[in-house]
Amino acid sequence: MVIQKQYDIQSLFPINHPPLVRVVLYYLKQHGITEFGGVSYFSQIYYEDIEKSLHEAGFKEKGYIDKLIIEEWNKADKTYFLFTLTRFAYNFKTNYRNWNIEKYTSIEVQNRNQKLRDKYYELVTVIDRLQGYLDSSELRLRIDSNYIDRETIYQCLTPFCTISVKCDELGNFSIKYALAPDLRSMITDLLVSILEKRISDTQMTDLKDYIKPTIFESDFKDRFTTRLKENSIHYKGFKKDFPIFVLRNKYR
């Protein structure tokens, strides 16, 4: 007995789907992938529609997203009995991160991205060493996280500064950092000078256009402590002899 797959034909239409799902369906259609499992995907999608969907999905331009879509389609397990075009599109939307397209960028961009990775870890090492000189157990805390959201690849959070590596929709990395406005009242002038100089030295390189300051939000300290409590079973409050504590979160 042959069991016929049942499909909701209306679900194949892109009208009410999220922007990135519409983008995926469009590029599948553009590459001739309009049918799967005996069901035709025959809805009309025009270039103007996809331009709008790309913008709504957070893309300034197409970039390499179509290459990633087709590569992921070719790798997808199509033997799964619930596999459909729209299910693939929604799975793509759920798993998509900007750094997935870095592999399609030029060698020049990839080399620059690697330099930015290296500079990020150099700055985190500086922060780690500075924290070793601090008496305050609160200021010696740090949260290191990887793959947090669509843009953020690496992130280092402390009560007095933040630094992260971001990736845009074209696969370009950048470093974003923020220093607390009252930094000099939190740690010594000498340590502040060391941190500022290391950041300044990094900005004096050929990477200067990709290392930018951001605003240190006024409620960051409270949010930092809240996040530490939520993510660490080891957090017992601040103690006098509390060592440098690094909570490493990996979301990927």
Question: Is the pLDDT reported for residue 134 higher than 70?
Answer: yes
Per-residue pLDDT tens digits for 170-209: 999 999 999 998 889 889 899 999 999 999 988 888 898 9
DSSP per-residue letters across 43-97: ----HHHHHHHHHHTT-SS-TTHHHHHHHHHHHS-TTSTT--HHHHHHHHHHH--
The full set of domain ranges for the chain reads: 9-96, 103-250
8 Å CB contact between 43 and 86:
no
Mean pLDDT of 161-168: 94
How would residue 46 be classed by pLDDT, with cut points 50, 70 and 90? Answer: low
Residue 75 burial (10 A CB sphere; 0-12, 13-18, 19+): exposed
Per-residue pLDDT tens digits for 90-102: 999 999 999 999 9
Beta-bridged to residue 211, according to DSSP, are 175
Q: Residue 44's pLDDT is what?
A: 54
CA distance to 71, 162, 167, per residue, from 156 (Å): 32, 6, 16
Catalogue the E-assigned strands of 88-223.
141-146, 152-157, 161-167, 173-179, 211-213
Q: Residue 77's pLDDT is what?
A: 82
Mean pLDDT of 155-171: 92
